[in-house]
Amino acid sequence: MTAWKAQYSEWAGRLDSAVSEVFESMLERNCTPVEETPAVDHSISAQILFSGAIRGECMLFASRSVAQVTAEALLGVTSEAAESMVEDAIGELCNMIAGGWKSKLGPEQAASAISPPLISTLQGPGNVQRTEDSFRRFYSFEGHVFGVEMVF
């Protein structure tokens, strides 16, 4: 059994906490985990790589419309003004979530480095986890659903 599997509940709980904290502090929105696996359009994604004591990635994926609403909330601007910044906003959201999750780990793991966000507007990973060494969580805010996948 890989190390993260033994800590799945703990790490998933830390991810839920990091997502909630980022949404409450930066977007002034409530965001809660979705227990069922919803169908999520993966038209935009942001990926953060971990290196050091933790090697892996955090990927946030969402539909373009969810990314747009998120950008508006994060930037505090209207749809038209946010449109050109959607990719940057999703990248920054992923960065804050990955950093928040990492900060909740033990000192050695929390010292792991994270990369700048990589943005893709290609179809994402679909509804199937990519490897055994990964887990996914889905979240909802104001009826909008997005996913986060952690791969180790």
**pLDDT per residue as tens digits for the range 93-122:** 999 999 999 999 989 998 999 999 999 987
What does the pLDDT read at residue 40?
Answer: 78
What CATH number labels 3-151?
3.40.1550.10
* Spans of all domains in the chain: 3-151
Q: Is 88 exposed, middle or buried (0-12, 13-18, 19+ CB in 10 A)?
A: middle
Return the pLDDT at 1. Answer: 46
pLDDT of residue 147: 95
The pLDDT of residue 81 is above 80 = no
The whole-angstrom separation of Cα 95 and Cα 52 is: 17
Using one digit for the tens of pLDDT, what is the confidence trace for 12-61?
999 999 999 999 999 999 999 998 888 877 889 999 999 999 999 999 99
List the one residue out of 143, 120, 150, 148 whose CA is nearest residue 66.
Answer: 143
- Cα separation of 145 and 140, whole Å? 4
